[in-house]
Amino acid sequence: MTSSLPTGAAERRGPLRAGDRVQLTDAKGRHHTIILEPGKTFHTHRGQFNHDDIIGGPEGAVVTNTAGYEYLVLRPLLSDYVMSMPRGAAVIYPKDSGQIIQMADIYPGARVVEAGVGSGALSMSLLRAVGDGGQLISIERREDFADIARANVENQFGGPHPAWRLETGDFADRVADVAEPGTVDRVILDMLAPWENIDAAADALTPGGVFLAYVATTTQLSRTAEALRDHGGYTEPQAWESMVRTWHLEGLAVRPDHRMIGHTGFLITSRRMAPGVQAPVRKRRPAKGAYPTDGEWTPEDLGERAVSDKKIRRVRRDVTTAQTQGDQD
């Protein structure tokens, strides 16, 4: 009888076993991540304890070292692993991965192509969402990043994931090789210039499929949105960002923490139109100055009010007169 649990689920339940990754949390909230090995010892300058004291026990237990310090013992969550794993490139934060899963509607059995794998943080969340019956094809330009991502993903899932295929190369060059045109449910891009891959994504996506790009700057966001509109085969793009602020909880001293996870990146999404069908023309008029008229950005294009030469002369006269009078006084 085959297990109905998704990959790695059985290993994340039950007593702690040799080979399990566990997170130790001390009284000050500091974390230590270890892999349990029989006969091995965890030690710091504040004492030690044996791994055998944990192996075979339940999650949520507390172990006390030789100096009397206590550690809470739990298997790390995916978000814990992502924030502590080795990384060659900056990772997509868990708050953004969660938004991507929801807003791109990543579902069990979906066929997803992502490009810009980095260290594999988003790949793990996507694999959790598509399940063993789905497919995630990840395309990474750099072989060294791909190697790091593969190691991180396999460490998390305890080996190769049956739904994952990792390829190297440029998205625009490789996507047609790894997926038949019009068969991809979702395309997720995390790269410097996603607007250069709008056409290739359109060819890969099935009608109604979701395009999502993760970008760091407003310039990237603007260029991606305009490229989607210019293509004509996508719905009107939507964009947003999320910020996370934790709270201090101590009796009646309940207040926001002084630090927060602010801007990490922008998410922009759109849906693929049916082949040959143009997206409806926007009815609303763009704000004045939203687009340059001659290809050059002017102060007016950026929303800055022009100041007439006459006003400049008047202000200059008034301020110099006031200065002269002050000097005489």
Domain that holds residue 218: 80-271
Same structural domain, 216 and 265: yes
- CATH number, domain of 63, equals 3.10.330.20
Same structural domain, 137 and 174: yes
Within a domain: 65: yes
Within a domain: 277: no
With vertex at residue 103, the alpha carbon angle to CA 100 and CA 104, rounded to the nearest 5 degrees, is 70
Structure tokens belonging to residue 145: 């990043």
Over residues 65-119, the pLDDT tens digits come to 999 999 999 999 998 888 888 887 788 889 999 999 999 999 999 999 999 998 8
Of 45, 76, 107, the residue at which a domain comes to its end is 76
Same structural domain, 216 and 161: yes
Same structural domain, 87 and 233: yes
Same structural domain, 108 and 252: yes
- CATH number, domain of 235, equals 3.40.50.150
Same structural domain, 109 and 68: no
Average the pLDDT over 215-220 and give the result: 92
Of 227, 246, 271, the residue at which a domain comes to its end is 271
pLDDT of residue 105: 97
Of 25, 42, 76, the residue at which a domain comes to its end is 76
pLDDT of residue 6: 44
User: Dihedral of CA 204/207/213/218: which sign?
Assistant: positive
- How many structural domains comprise the chain? 2
d(CA 76, CA 123): 17
Which contiguous run of DSSP H or E holds residue 100?
A: helix 94-103
The burial class, CB within 10 Å (0-12 / 13-18 / 19+), for 242 is middle
pLDDT of residue 89: 78
d(CA 282, CA 271): 15
Percentage with pLDDT > 90 across the chain = 63
Over residues 139-152, the pLDDT tens digits come to 999 999 999 999 99
> Which pTM was predicted?
0.78
Same structural domain, 28 and 175: no
Within a domain: 296: no
pLDDT exceeds 50 at position 3: no
Over residues 137-192, the pLDDT tens digits come to 999 999 999 999 999 999 899 899 999 999 999 999 999 999 999 999 999 999 99
Same structural domain, 91 and 28: no
